[in-house]
Amino acid sequence: MKYTIFKYDSLRAFFLITGLMFLLPAFAQQNINFKGTVVDDFGDPLIGVNVQVEGTTDGTTTDFDGNFTLGVNSNSVLILTYVGYDKTEFKVDGKKSAIIKLKESSIALNEVVAIGYGSQTKKELTGSIASVKAEDFVKGVVANPMGLVQGKVAGLNIIKKGGGDPAQNNYEVQLRGVGSLKGNSEPLYIIDGVAGGDLSSIQSSEIESIDVLKDGSAAAIYGTRANHGVILITTKRGKAGQSSIEYNGGVSTSTISNKLRVLNASEYREYMGGDLGADTDWLDAITRTPIKTYHNVALSGGTENFSYRSAISYRYMEGLAVKSDYEEINARFAANQKALNNLLEVAYDFNYTSSKKNWVDYDNFNQALQLNPTQPIYADPSSANYEKYNGYYESDAFAGHYWNPVADIDNTESHEKYKVFLGSVRASLNLTKNLKFTSFYTLQQQGKWNGKYQSAYSRRVEGKNGVASQSQENNQTQTIENTLQFTESWKNHNFSAIIGQSYQYNEYSNFGANNSNFPIDDLLYNNLGIGENLQTGNSELMGMGSSKYTDKLASFFARVVYNYNQKYFLNISARMEGSSKFGPKAHKTLGRWGIFPAVSGSWRISEEGFMQDLGIFDDLKLRVGYGVTGNMPSDSYLYLMRVGQTGEPLYSNGAFVRPWGATSNINEYIRWEKKEEYNIGIDFAILKNRIRGSIDGYVRNTSDLLWEYDVPVPPYPTDKKWDNYGKLRNYGFEVALSGDILRAKNYSLSMNIVGAFNRNEVVKITGGEYAENNPGYLNVGYISSGSGETGNYVMRLQQGSPIGNFYGWKYYGINSKGQWVFETPDGGYTTSPTESQKQILGNALPDFTYGFGFNGSYKNFDASVNFRGQFGGLIFNESRYFYENKIDGNNVLYSAVDPKNDASRLNDIRRFSDFYLEDATFLKCSDLTIGYNFSLDNKYVKKARVFVNCQNVFTITGYSGVDPEVSMNGLTPGFDSRSYYPAERSFEFGASLTF
Amino acid sequence: MKFKYFKYTFLASAISLGACTDLEPEIFSDVLKDNYFQNEAQFGTLVANAYSQLLGEYGYVYREGYWSMQEYTADAVIVPTRGSDWWDNGVPIMMHGHTWEYDTRDVNNGWSFVYGGVGKCNEVLDNIVLLKGDDESAYDEGTVSAIAETKILRAFYHMLAMDLYGNVAIVRSSSDTPRQYTRKEVFDFVEQEILDNMGMLPEAKNYGRITKGVAHAILAKLYINAEVYTGTARWADCIAQCEEVMDPNYGYSIDSDYFNVFSVNNTNNAEIIFPIVFDATYAKGNMFHLMTLHYVQQEVYGFTTQTWNGPCTTHSYLDKYEDTDLRKAQFFHGEIRDKSGKMMTYTIPADLTNGVVEHLVDAVITPQITSIRDVTKSNTFEGARFVKFEIEEGIDHHANNDFPIYRLADIYLMKAEAEIRLYGQVKDITYVNQLRSRAGVSLYNTANLSLDEMIEERARELAWEGHRRQDLIRFGMFTGGKYLWPWKGAKPSDTPTDNTTGKATSEIRNLFPIPKWVRDANSGVYQQNPGY
């Protein structure tokens, strides 16, 4: 009997004890306040590491010392994630504190890259996408964010427009060769998701990274605006738990980096004769030593649910030319907010820039080249025209082509004010773990105002007694975008998809008025109505005008991204887009709409067993992609029959009657230019990811090129018609390499190199109905033969040839009579060449472009240097064409009189030949920076750094002109104009502090 | 829960989707054809198109087009290259020296001008049908006369084309494919068009538009050159047409002051039959003052833009005038003085290679031209300048003076010439003598007004008005060695100071070549003129 009870009791006891044992941990599961410190391989604290308690939503981030505190249970597992480091799990195991070491992961692979409507890690990319992070940007002051990646992306050629002019803050940006003949040739800029964002609305120091979607498969998701590549700019945002105030500032000055050697006064007297008595260095007279300064302050901080970043900056830049300057103030506020228990996320971004510019006419630099150096700047008070020109000396040569540049700069006020506001609000609803709906609204408003006044003393408007004008332009773009994203993984299949809709409305308007004959100069352009010439009604002396147009862009897009085991990746996307700029018959069935599909895939060969056995590659990936993108026409109404004033008025019954008629030919088929691109690439990393690189090869076929054709009148009402007819082809390859050469606790050195080769061919520009009036070639690149003389075309665009072929006579020599001797195509020689004896002289475009840079640090010092350059290419040295010839009697280059130079024997009119074409190979050191980071140990200042920076350090080239980096875009690459704003070499001292 | 959100999201997307596919264009500052030509005033602007080809810088008086083809090519106009100004790739020298080619700029522009005009006329006719309907019998009087006017203007453009290029196209409508016709066929077309439509034109003079009087004048000009155009002379018909024009009902009369016909406010001048009505503000294109005056003269006249110092006249042309001839004043030479009477000066730049040092010279225009191309600019003041059109102070690029295509003086001279050719002498010499007495020179009698004298008088009376080439061809003096002028026969590559008396040029030069671009664009249609 006792037995049986005991047995029951044992069983109960067993359960009791076991139960208690289970309960025990519950008692033991009190909340521990766990204190942890997260460090890296070297033992240095890591800031901002994400620490999450597994299975809960509890989490925090590490502070500036790498410390964190979290309430956990003794058997909690902490998940630590941090960009660039392996995801680490840490078992609390009852501990109260610990130091947790994170291992640096293959940085490159886990780097996050923006790909348009989302982001992927480098590992997952299937298209050709280049990513440049803030630490690799070009250092020093740049005109706009594109300057930060000059020479950093293979195949992306960036050239500053306007030389050293601070008011000209645009770059010419060209990706993978010339992509369009007459259409738009700018890439699409996406700023934090806003397509078509204005680059002047953001500060360079606020940019986190710039990603370039290079090939068709990556860019196709942007449809009709993506032919020239898509550049995604991501700005810095606030991070939870990290409050900081950052200050950056600097001051710099610059000098003219290179001058052309013209004759000085005594040389002019000797070689040219004639003496007006003075000794003038014209270039010196119109330039000065400028000073530039900038300051910006950024605040960021926040909590889990609300984080923000805001920044204010101020910039003032004087230019080399007297009076030329640029002043800008920019403010930014960006915030992220979570609500509804992380169901709703809202992000806002507001950017505002207001700037003022003082423009100087570049033609004054041409005057500085050609004016007589013995001509005085100021006139003698007793001379006849002293009062007339306000004390300046003006020669009596033709006023349209010769004037005193010092006087012109003094007599002209050319001002511009520019404001841009870019704001966006994005709301995301996390419907489920896998499904997210986002709605995005953006507004961009740009306003430009120009005012110009040329005083009564100005020779250029002599007789008009003062000319004033004001004009304004406004552009407003609104976009609304809705997307639905879905992600799911099961087993080794990872799948994500996005479908979306977008609608953009663009409104542009402008207004301008001008008048002349002002009673006093002091009013400048502020009182237009007071000019006497308003009464004349003569459009040569006064006038006004305005215009307005709008366009709409609607699209639907979808993308599916799939990978199997992070080894095989597939990316398919399609965008269906329509615009009010396309004619109603643009597409056979879809009318105003087009479809832009893309497919790309990649294979991480390095994950395969056989590759891992080989042990060479840490990463080896093969990418293949195909995509279709488009390019918009610029005119909004090419398919509508417009009428307007078509000629001078008829006098009838005592009054003038203006004729009205068709002003444009309609084309109901007008549509986008279409580019199909095939891309194949290999990404690799070796030596434990110390060396990483990629090689890409591509073929791009652009068809339906927009061109304005000559058409016969009759039957057409007017003689020009826009149509999509031509074809253009580009192919090439790109190489990019980056390497950590040295990496240790106290020092590091890394390097990156990019190089690109590109060839283009104009496959077709005419044919069919246009063949009769438009031959298979076009003469482009018009250049006058002297001051206002009828001139010539120096380039020929020909079917079957690349863009940029120079076309003219082939130089042989200069004979004893000083005449040009040219070689004729049939092997003879002539001194009086005819049009038919011209031939192709060479191509302006380079064979190979490259860039490379080094980034290093030693203890507290850091240094970086960047280079870029090209091999091959030809430049037409316009200054030599005009000023290496004594025919006009103006000032000339020294090479026109230097006995070592053939041109000194010249006694002939100006003729264009390859005598004026020079090789464009160069190597330029674009910037050099040395900085010092103070080791700080106080509660207030977290980081402090000072640096010196030099931009445009030196250039090695055989080119005899000022700067071999000339425009490479459009129909006429390779022109080095004689009216150029000098390029500058600048020296900067700056500091940055973080509190 | 999940599903509910899904549903709302989709609904929201659907609503926004509907609105967000609108791609209709919005027009704000452009005018669409459908919105215009709605009323009579707007209809009037349509007809104006037919005339607009004559106006503008690139119209009838274009120095690189029609006018250059009729005037640069003879002795009245010469454009020396001064330094590097006006070299223009040698084109002005080629035109003056009869060494042009089939792709010379001016030859190209001339064709665009005449056929552009034809095209505009055809477009006007097409648009009239579009606006007023197909039923011609329902047209009102205004429309009927507008159509007649446009057709005669179209015939006029064809006449100019045939005069310049010979065997050209007749384009009767916008849908015509070009076909080459013989000069005679074009002549017949022009004659027929004018005769057919003349009846529907208004009788009364309407200065600036084609009325009956103007149509008769065009016919007179057609007939006087008939022998050149067709081989058959039509002197009697020419005389008849001239007499029609001279009918006092039309109201044309000779102005007692020669220069009044060319004054700034010469609009509605009674002597002008077919004008191009220019206006500095409203109807631009008269730029003679810019073309011919020297740089320093900008200040003298207070122009608001710089003058160009280009075309001038040869000394041999200037010598045609007796010193007492009032018309000689239409060419200015001598000292240039400013408003206060002070002598103006100009700096000739240095050119050591050619032995010229920089020096200041007095501004004196000299008739003798020493070099057709002087790289040193020493010839800057050479050549008498054209001041027939009264020069208005303070203007900009464009002047107000109307340009007479046909005027009564020309009619008188043509009638006299036709009479000499037909009858051996002038029937009523009082008409031509009106011109002589106005000019302050001796009167003619039937004995001393011979054909040789006729051509000289035409030169004196109608200088620079676009008739010189036609007149010289008719008298057999344009090409060949019978009549020479300085640099006749010159090539741009010649030594600039050679050939100051001129030399014979080939007969082929009586016609311009059909431009290369025209023949290329219409392959097989146009046979080139002989010699080119």
pLDDT score for A14: 53
pLDDT score for B422: 93
Give the SS3 label for residue A311. strand
Choosing among A498, A510, A648, A720, which should be mutated to test the B contact, i.e. which has the most B CBs within 10 A?
A: A648
Return the closest-CA partner of residue A515 out of A503, A502, A501, A525: A525
pLDDT score for B460: 95
Nearest to B13 among A400, A482, A713 (CB): A482
- Which H or E run contains B445? none
- Residue A40: pLDDT over 90: no
Lowest-pLDDT range, A706-715, A787-796, B266-275, B410-419? A787-796
Partners of A463 on chain B (C-beta within 8 Å) are 298, 302-305, 394
Lowest-pLDDT range, A8-17, A566-575, A769-778, B517-526? A8-17
Nearest to A395 among B56, B347, B522 (CB): B347
Order of strands across the sheet with A829-830? A810-814, A820-823, A829-830
Partners of A766 on chain B (C-beta within 8 Å) are none
Average pLDDT over residues B247-252: 91
Torsion, Cα A845 A847 A848 A849, to 10 degrees, reads -10
Q: What is the DSSP string of A877-907?
A: EHHHHHHS-GGGSS--BGGGT-TTSGGGG--
Average pLDDT over residues A391-395: 91
CB contact under 8 A, B353 and A789: no
- Residue A86: pLDDT over 70: no
Partners of B353 on chain A (C-beta within 8 Å) are 818, 886, 907
Q: What is the DSSP string of A623-690?
A: EEEEEEEEE--S-TTTTS-EEEE-SSPEEETTEEE--EEE-S---TT---EEEEEEEEEEEEEETTTT
Pick the more confident residue, A672 or B129.
A672
Partners of A794 on chain B (C-beta within 8 Å) are none
Closest-CA distance, B157 to chain A, in angstroms, reads 15
pLDDT score for A113: 83
Lowest-pLDDT range, A641-655, A709-723, A909-923, B326-340? A709-723
pLDDT score for B18: 58
Residue A886: which pLDDT band, with cuts at 50, 70 and 90?
confident
Domain boundaries, chain A: 23-105, 108-235
Count of other CB atoms within 10 angstroms of residue A859: 11
Choosing among B34, B55, B114, B282, which should be mutated to test the A contact, i.e. which has the most A CBs within 10 A?
A: B282
Closest-CA distance, B525 to chain A, in angstroms, reads 12
Q: Using CA atoms, how far apart are residues A402 and A890, in angstroms rounded to an integer? A: 10
Contact of A244 with A300, CB cutoff 8 Å: yes
Residues 6+ positions from B162 with CB-CB distance below 8 Å: B168, B183, B186, B187, B190, B229
pLDDT score for A383: 85
pLDDT score for A279: 92
pLDDT score for B21: 86
pLDDT score for A106: 57
Pick the more confident residue, B462 or A565.
B462
Nearest to B29 among A397, A547, A835 (CB): A547
Choosing among A643, A784, A884, which should be mutated to test the B contact, i.e. which has the most B CBs within 10 A?
A: A643
Nearest to B83 among A646, A714, A888 (CB): A888
Q: Using CA atoms, how far apart are residues A273 and A267, in angstroms rounded to an integer? A: 9
Lowest-pLDDT range, A9-13, A591-595, A953-957? A9-13
Residue A979 C-beta-side C-alpha neighbours within 13 Å: 9
Residue A182: which pLDDT band, with cuts at 50, 70 and 90?
confident
The pair phi, psi for residue A820, each rounded to 5°, is -70, 140
CB contact under 8 A, B28 and A792: no
Return the closest-CA partner of residue B510 out of B530, B528, B527, B484: B530
pLDDT score for A938: 80
CB contact under 8 A, A659 and B296: no
pLDDT score for B3: 45
pLDDT score for A16: 56
Average pLDDT over residues B312-323: 94
Average pLDDT, chain A: 88
Choosing among B84, B351, B374, which should be mutated to test the A contact, i.e. which has the most A CBs within 10 A?
A: B84
- Residue B60: pLDDT over 80: yes
User: Which residue in the block uniquely carries the two structure tokens 């020294």?
Assistant: A894
pLDDT score for A715: 67
Partners of B91 on chain A (C-beta within 8 Å) are 790
Closest-CA distance, B523 to chain A, in angstroms, reads 8
pLDDT score for A202: 92
CB contact under 8 A, A274 and B209: no
DSSP H helical ranges for A539-586: none
CB contact under 8 A, A773 and B521: yes
Average pLDDT over residues A523-547: 90
pLDDT score for B365: 93
- Residue A13: pLDDT over 60: no
CB contact under 8 A, A649 and B283: yes
Nearest to B49 among A502, A659, A785 (CB): A659
* A435 alpha-carbon distance from chain centroid: 35
CB contact under 8 A, A649 and B282: yes
- Residue A485: pLDDT over 90: yes
The answer to whether A23-105 and A108-235 have equal CATH topology is no
- Residue B14: pLDDT over 60: no
Nearest residue of B to residue A551, measured between CA atoms: B25
At A443, which amino acid appears? Answer: L
CB contact under 8 A, B84 and A786: yes
pLDDT score for B267: 93
Choosing among B6, B20, B87, B354, which should be mutated to test the A contact, i.e. which has the most A CBs within 10 A?
A: B20
Contact of A47 with A40, CB cutoff 8 Å: no
pLDDT in tens, B477-524: 999 999 999 999 999 888 888 888 899 999 999 999 999 888 887 888
Average pLDDT over residues A325-351: 92
Tokens of B263: 């004054």
Closest-CA distance, A835 to chain B, in angstroms, reads 10
Give the SS3 label for residue B199. coil
Q: What is the CATH number of domain A23-105?
A: 2.60.40.1120
| Residue A624, beta-bridge partner list | A601, A680
- Residue A833: pLDDT over 60: yes
Residue A12: which pLDDT band, with cuts at 50, 70 and 90?
low
pLDDT in tens, A46-64: 888 888 888 787 788 888 8
At A67, which amino acid appears? Answer: N
Count of other CB atoms within 10 angstroms of residue B291: 19
Average pLDDT over residues A875-892: 88
Residue A719: which pLDDT band, with cuts at 50, 70 and 90?
confident
Residues 6+ positions from B220 with CB-CB distance below 8 Å: B238, B241, B242, B245, B411, B414, B415
CB contact under 8 A, A790 and B123: no
Q: Using CA atoms, how far apart are residues B362 and B22, in angstroms rounded to an integer? A: 72
Closest-CA distance, B53 to chain A, in angstroms, reads 7
Give the SS3 label for residue B373. strand
Alpha-carbon torsion (A22, A24, A26, A31), positive or negative:
negative
Count of other CB atoms within 10 angstroms of residue B424: 10
- Residue A375: pLDDT over 70: yes
The C-alpha angle with vertex A273 and arms to A267 and A275, in degrees rounded to 5, equals: 85
Nearest residue of A to residue B32, measured between CA atoms: A642
Nearest residue of B to residue A500, measured between CA atoms: B13
Radius of gyration of chain A (CA): 33
DSSP H helical ranges for A497-655: 609-614
Residue B222: which pLDDT band, with cuts at 50, 70 and 90?
very high
Lowest-pLDDT range, A25-34, B159-168, B311-320? A25-34
Average pLDDT over residues A595-615: 87
User: Which residue in the block uniquely carries the two structure tokens 């520009």?
Assistant: A765
pLDDT score for A789: 56
Give the SS3 label for residue B441. coil
CB contact under 8 A, B396 and A541: yes
Choosing among B21, B54, B522, which should be mutated to test the A contact, i.e. which has the most A CBs within 10 A?
A: B21
Residue A714: which pLDDT band, with cuts at 50, 70 and 90?
low
- Residue A499: pLDDT over 80: yes
pLDDT score for A484: 95
Return the closest-CA partner of residue A411 out of A448, A472, A375, A465: A465
CB contact under 8 A, B279 and A549: no
Lowest-pLDDT range, A9-13, A575-579, A893-897? A9-13
Average pLDDT over residues A120-128: 86
Distances in whole angstroms, Cα of residue B131 to Cα of each of A640, B128, B137: 19, 5, 15
- Residue B139: pLDDT over 50: yes
pLDDT in tens, B359-417: 888 999 999 999 998 877 888 999 999 999 999 998 989 999 999 999 999 999 999 99
Domains and CATH numbers, chain B: 38-201+467-532 (1.25.40.390), 202-277+402-463 (1.25.40.10), 288-386 (no CATH)
Return the closest-CA partner of residue B106 out of B114, B235, A665: B114
Alpha-carbon torsion (A947, A142, A845, A960), positive or negative:
negative
Q: Using CA atoms, how far apart are residues A67 and A978, in angstroms rounded to an integer? A: 62
Average pLDDT over residues A495-513: 95
Q: Could you tell me which CATH class the domain A108-235 is placed in?
A: mainly beta
Rounded to two decimals, the pTM is: 0.81
Nearest to B20 among A273, A501, A656 (CB): A501
- Residue A26: pLDDT over 50: no
Alpha-carbon torsion (A122, A128, A129, A132), positive or negative:
positive
Partners of B53 on chain A (C-beta within 8 Å) are 647
Partners of A660 on chain B (C-beta within 8 Å) are 36-37, 42, 45-46, 48-49
Nearest to B123 among A644, A652, A717 (CB): A717
pLDDT in tens, A258-313: 999 999 999 998 888 778 889 999 999 999 999 999 999 999 998 888 999 999 99
Partners of B58 on chain A (C-beta within 8 Å) are none
* B134 alpha-carbon distance from chain centroid: 35
CB contact under 8 A, A550 and B87: no
Closest-CA distance, A658 to chain B, in angstroms, reads 6
- Residue A28: pLDDT over 50: no
Partners of A715 on chain B (C-beta within 8 Å) are 174-175
Q: Using CA atoms, how far apart are residues A814 and A829, in angstroms rounded to an integer? A: 11
Nearest to B56 among A400, A548, A647 (CB): A647
pLDDT in tens, A790-803: 678 899 988 899 99
Give the SS3 label for residue A474. strand
Q: Using CA atoms, how far apart are residues A422 and A445, in angstroms rounded to an integer? A: 7
Tokens of A392: 């300046």
Partners of B31 on chain A (C-beta within 8 Å) are 642-644
pLDDT score for A304: 84
CB contact under 8 A, B208 and A652: yes
Residue B529: which pLDDT band, with cuts at 50, 70 and 90?
very high
Average pLDDT, chain B: 89
Choosing among B81, B339, B353, B516, which should be mutated to test the A contact, i.e. which has the most A CBs within 10 A?
A: B353
**Is the preceding omega at residue A376 within 30 degrees of 0, hence cis?**
no
- Which H or E run contains B351? none
Residue A467: which pLDDT band, with cuts at 50, 70 and 90?
very high
Nearest to B25 among A580, A789, A790 (CB): A580
Nearest to B84 among A537, A789, A835 (CB): A789
Residue B19: which pLDDT band, with cuts at 50, 70 and 90?
low
Q: Using CA atoms, how far apart are residues B418 and B237, in angstroms rounded to an integer? A: 9
* A906 alpha-carbon distance from chain centroid: 43
Q: Using CA atoms, how far apart are residues B47 and B464, in angstroms rounded to an integer? A: 29
Q: Using CA atoms, how far apart are residues B221 and B190, in angstroms rounded to an integer? A: 12
Nearest to A714 among B26, B46, B174 (CB): B174
Lowest-pLDDT range, A606-615, A793-802, B187-196, B506-515? A606-615
Q: Using CA atoms, how far apart are residues B192 and B206, in angstroms rounded to an integer? A: 23
pLDDT score for A5: 42
CB contact under 8 A, B306 and A659: no
Average pLDDT over residues A642-650: 86
